[in-house]
Each structure stands twice: as structure tokens, then as C-alpha cells.
């Protein structure tokens, strides 16, 4: 049940004031996400842990996000999206501060758990934007948030190397993300208004526990699959437990009067194609990163493929994809205004499908890889901006937060699943005594990526879209109704 009927008409809130500070929050979010990976070696040396141990630095954050995203997204629909965003930014602030001082390995891992809510910032911000702003302005704003997230990740990755070289200690370097998060705390506590629509429902505690547990066990099982293979008894057992928990959770949610996540909505013709695309898109966007790097850095004299690329060259290829994706996310709304959201989405899926098909046939010259990366980046950028905007438009008004949260979770799950599968594929094409896969392994990975985008294009081409006349209407900024505005 929603409560969005105002009892009086207070002054309208400036749309730019709402979006402007959220944009910085997403820039900070991207900065934090991109900052730590280049410094993992230095962090491992400081903590005196092995290369395998330090991988948990990023893994525990992913597992924490798996729990936080659906929980805080849904609680935002119930108690207010700004309120949950405040909890999220404070948690991340504490986590980044503790991480900066690197007290001990166990405490650093605990701090990384506190950084997990970083993944729910965007779903909550999308809900805040869509609650207050409608029409084409909402699409433009969401695209801008996503592009700032991606751009922030680039800035964070570059800044890590720069600050590491300029600053005299690792602690000072690790304090840089804290400064960005501090400004986000100010924005969320002082400048961002609360959402006005609420869902009046009981909290499905067992449903939240079930989905959180299922996601953590499933992601842990996929991590085991990446390192030990799907044939490992430990992997099989962990994935089997995850599937049992997930099946029990689905059964519970289908019978629950007020489910934590509306399973029927997720698989409906209204939302299902978007969520399917989110999963497939996540497979390629996150899962194909490692194979792309190992292909570029392979020595052709030993393997018959690759370019013996330096870290700088490999980063340049990644930068092409990321920068063009940032641009694509920022401009998708203006393109959709002219050709429609369906055309933008289908084009966003077709471009990388064509890119991977071209790469299957042409991958012997470095310029070919850069060209394919450019095509893929543009297409992925259109999807990065358009998909969450479409989720916000299609979701019921009192479920925008959880709808965006599920979208984020499915992308993460798709990336984890593909990472495990691609690792097994490359291992299957590796000859005994060799450390490198044959070219057949990479062709298989590219074929899976192309197929994922073809399936996404088909799903998006035939789904029902919101009426363009309504979606592109003049922006509406909703005033805060005094009868239902929560405290804070």
C-alpha cells in the first residue's frame, strides 16, 4: 500500500538540488570501488599475508553487499530511502577509516564488511530520484548517476597509483577514499531530501535472512568453483546447499503475505526480461574482465595468440571500454528521447554482441581489440544507463528501491557465475603441463558473451515498454506531503 497523496502543496523542490549531491555520492562510490584493487599488493605486504589471503579483501565486501543490497533496498521502501542511504554512507565511512589504518588482517576484513553497503547506494539513489522526478529528467538523472559511478571508478584506479607514488605512507594513501565518503555523508545528511512514498507492510525477517544466506553461500560456492573447479566435492556441496536454501526461500516468498522480494514480479513479463538482461549483462561486464586481461598479456611466441601486453596496454584497453561506457550511460536519455527506450536498449545489446562476434574472427592485431572494445563500450554504456532507469519506471511506486536492488544483485550474481564458468572453460582448454589456455578457450568465452547479448537483445525487443509519451513527459518534481514525511 502506498501513501503518496499530499494533504497540502508545499513549495516544489528543485530537481537539480536533488540530483547534484547524489551525483557526487556516486562519484565517491565509484572512486572507492576503483581505488583499492591496484594497491592490493602493497596492502598484502603491509599486513604480511599471502596473495591468496588478500583476495578476501575484495571478496568479503562482495559477500556483504549480497546481504545488504536486498535488505537496505527494501527497508528504504518501508522507512525511507534517504534514511537507509544515511546508514549506508556512515557504514562505508567507518569501514574506509578502519581500512586506512590497517590495524590487523582480521580487523581489516571486518572493515571491508562495513564497506559492503556501498553497493546499495545506487539503488537507493535511483529510488530517491524517481520518487521526486518523473519523465525524461528522471532518465537523464539516473544516466548521470551511473556515468558518475563508472567515471569515479576510473578516477579511483588512476588516483591509487598517483597517491601511492606521491604520499609517504600507505595509510595516507588509503585515507583518500575517506575524504570522498566524508563529503557524501554531508550531502546525504544535509542536502538530500527524503523520499515521500512508502510501502505499508510488515518486514519479512525470514525472507531477508533466507535471500541473504542463499546469496552468500552461492557466491562463496562460485568462488570455490573458480579456484577448485565445478567437479570439486567442496564446490558441489556448497552450491547444492545454496540451491536448497534458494528453493526453500522461493517457496516461502510465494506464500508470504508481505514477501521480502516479490518473486512473481521478478519473473513477470513486465520485469522479467529486464532482470534476465541484468544477469546476462553482469556475466559479460564482470565475468569477462579476467579472460580479457590474460589474453592481452599472453606471449604469442609461447601461446600463438596475445600481444605480450604490459599492464599499461591492458589498462588502456579497459579504459576504452570504461570511458565510452561512461559516455553511453550519460547520453542514453537524449537518444531515447528521439528513438525510444526500446531502440536504445536493443542497440545497447546488439553492439557488444557484434563486437564479440567480430573478435572471434579477428583477434590477431591489437587495433582490432581496441576497435572491438570501443564498440562494446558504447553498447554497454547504453545498457548501464537505460536498464536501471527502465527498472525504476516499471516497478510499482512503493517498490522502486527493492526493484533497483534486485537489478544490482543480479548483475553481481551474473558476474560471479560467469567468472567461475570462464575459469573452468579456460582450464579445460589448457594442455597438461601448460599454464596457458589454447585460443579455443578464449573463442568459447567470446562466444558465450556474444550469445548472452543476443539473448538480451531478443528479450528486450519483445517485452512491453512504458509508453514513451508518458515517460518522456515534462519532468514532475513531487512535493513532500506533510502527512507522511518521516522524521529525519
Q: How does residue 483 score in pLDDT terms, banded at 50, 70 and 90?
A: very low
- Give the tens place of pLDDT for each residue, 219-233: 989 888 877 888 899
pLDDT at 290: 84
pLDDT at 276: 96
pLDDT at 202: 81
Q: Is the pLDDT of residue 20 over 50?
A: yes
- Give the tens place of pLDDT for each residue, 89-110: 999 999 999 999 999 999 999 9
What is the distance, to the nearest Å, from the Cα of residue 255 to the centroid of all Cα atoms in its chain?
30
Q: Provide the mean pLDDT of the chain.
A: 87
Mean pLDDT of 199-210: 87
CA-CA-CA-CA dihedral for 312, 316, 317, 321, to nearest 10: 150
CA separation for the pair 431, 193 (Å, rounded) = 59
- Give the tens place of pLDDT for each residue, 347-391: 999 999 999 999 999 999 999 999 999 999 999 999 999 999 999
Radius of gyration in angstroms for the set of CA atoms belonging to the chain, rounded to a whole number: 22
pLDDT at 254: 93
- Give the tens place of pLDDT for each residue, 165-186: 999 999 999 999 999 999 999 9
pLDDT at 225: 87
- Give the tens place of pLDDT for each residue, 112-155: 999 999 999 999 999 999 888 877 888 999 999 999 999 999 99
User: Which residue did the predictor score with more confidence, 21 or 3?
Assistant: 21
Name the helix (H) or strand (E) containing 329. Answer: helix 311-339
Q: Is the pLDDT of residue 9 over 50?
A: no
- Quote the percentage of the chain above a pLDDT of 70: 91
Q: What are phi and psi of 298, to 5 degrees?
A: -65, 145
CA separation for the pair 123, 471 (Å, rounded) = 19
State the fold for domain 15-197: Growth Hormone; Chain: A; (1.20.1250)
Q: Kindly state the cell numbers that stand for 62.
A: 562482495
Q: What are phi and psi of 125, to 5 degrees?
A: -70, -40
3-state secondary structure of 133: strand
282 in the Ramachandran plot: left (φ > 0), alpha (ψ -120 to 50) or beta? alpha
Q: Is the four-CA dihedral 276, 282, 287, 293 of positive or negative sign? A: positive
Q: How does residue 313 score in pLDDT terms, banded at 50, 70 and 90?
A: confident
Q: Is the pLDDT of residue 476 over 60?
A: no
Same fold, 15-197 and 264-471: yes
pTM reported for the whole predicted model: 0.86
For domain 264-471, the CATH architecture is Up-down Bundle (1.20)
Q: Where do the domains of the chain lie?
A: 15-197, 204-259, 264-471
- CA–CA–CA angle 401, 403, 408 (5° rounding): 95
CA separation for the pair 221, 217 (Å, rounded) = 6
- Give the tens place of pLDDT for each residue, 46-69: 999 887 788 889 889 988 998 899
222 in the Ramachandran plot: left (φ > 0), alpha (ψ -120 to 50) or beta? alpha
Q: Kindly state the cell numbers that stand for 186.
A: 554531508
Amino acid at each position: 500500500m502506498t501513501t503518496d497523496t499530499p494533504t497540502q502543496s508545499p513549495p516544489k523542490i528543485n530537481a537539480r538540488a536533488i540530483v547534484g549531491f547524489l551525483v557526487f555520492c556516486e562519484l565517491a562510490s565509484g572512486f572507492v570501488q576503483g581505488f583499492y584493487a591496484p594497491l592490493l599488493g602493497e596492502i598484502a605486504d603491509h599486513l604480511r599475508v599471502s596473495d591468496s589471503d588478500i583476495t578476501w579483501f575484495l571478496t568479503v565486501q562482495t559477500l556483504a553487499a549480497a546481504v545488504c543490497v536486498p535488505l537496505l533496498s527494501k527497508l528504504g521502501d518501508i522507512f525511507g530511502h534517504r534514511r537507509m542511504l544515511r546508514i549506508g554512507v556512515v557504514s562505508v565511512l567507518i569501514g574506509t577509516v578502519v581500512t586506512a589504518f590497517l590495524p590487523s588482517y582480521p580487523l581489516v576484513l571486518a572493515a571491508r564488511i562495513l564497506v559492503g553497503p556501498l553497493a546499495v547506494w545506487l539503488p537507493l539513489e535511483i529510488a530517491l530520484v524517481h520518487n521526486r522526478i518523473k519523465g525524461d529528467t528522471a532518465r537523464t538523472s539516473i544516466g548521470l548517476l551511473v556515468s558518475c559511478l563508472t567515471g569515479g571508478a576510473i578516477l579511483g584506479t588512476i588516483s591509487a597509483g598517483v597517491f601511492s607514488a606521491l604520499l609517504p605512507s600507505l595509510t595516507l594513501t588509503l585515507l583518500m577514499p575517506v575524504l570522498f565518503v566524508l563529503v557524501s555523508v554531508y550531502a546525504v545528511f544535509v542536502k538530500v531530501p527524503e523520499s515521500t512514498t512508502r510501502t505499508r507492510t510488515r518486514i519479512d525477517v525470514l525472507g531477508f535472512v533466507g535471500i541473504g544466506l542463499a546469496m552468500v553461500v552461492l557466491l562463496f560456492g562460485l568462488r570455490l568453483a573458480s579456484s577448485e573447479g565445478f567437479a570439486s566435492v567442496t564446490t558441489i556441496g556448497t552450491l547444492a546447499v545454496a540451491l536448497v536454501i534458494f528453493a526453500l526461500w522461493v517457496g516461502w516468498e510465494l506464500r508470504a503475505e508481505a514477501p521480502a522480494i516479490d518473486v512473481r514480479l521478478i519473473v513477470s513479463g513486465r520485469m522479467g526480461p529486464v532482470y534476465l538482461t541484468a544477469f546476462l549483462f553482469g556475466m559479460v561486464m564482470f565475468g569477462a574482465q579476467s579472460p580479457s586481461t590474460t589474453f592481452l598479456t599472453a606471449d604469442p611466441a609461447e601461446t600463438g595468440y596475445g600481444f605480450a601486453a604490459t599492464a599499461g596496454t591492458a589498462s588502456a584497453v579497459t579504459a576504452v571500454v570504461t570511458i565510452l561506457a561512461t559516455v553511453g550511460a550519460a547520453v542514453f536519455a537524449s537518444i531515447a528521447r528521439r528513438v525510444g527506450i526500446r531502440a536504445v536498449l536493443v542497440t545497447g545489446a546488439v553492439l557488444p554482441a557484434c563486437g564479440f562476434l567480430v573478435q572471434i574472427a579477428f583477434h590477431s592485431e591489437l587495433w582490432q581489440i581496441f576497435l572491438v572494445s570501443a564498440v562494446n563500450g558504447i553498447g554497454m554504456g547504453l545498457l548501464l544507463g537505460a536498464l536501471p532507469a527502465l527498472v525504476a519506471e516499471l516497478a510499482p511506486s512503493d517498490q522502486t528501491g527493492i526493484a533497483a536492488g534486485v537489478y544490482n544483485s543480479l548483475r553481481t550474481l551474473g558476474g560471479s557465475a560467469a567468472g567461475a564458468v570462464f575459469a573452468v572453460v579456460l582450464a579445460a582448454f589448457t594442455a597438461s603441463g601448460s599454464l596457458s589456455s589454447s585460443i579455443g578457450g578464449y573463442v568459447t568465452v567470446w562466444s558465450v558473451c556474444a550469445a548472452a547479448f543476443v539473448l538480451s537483445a531478443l528479450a528486450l525487443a519483445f517485452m512491453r515498454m512504458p509508453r514513451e509519451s508518458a515517460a518522456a513527459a515534462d519532468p514532475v518534481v513531487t512535493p513532500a506531503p506533510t502527512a507522511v514525511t518521516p522524521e529525519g
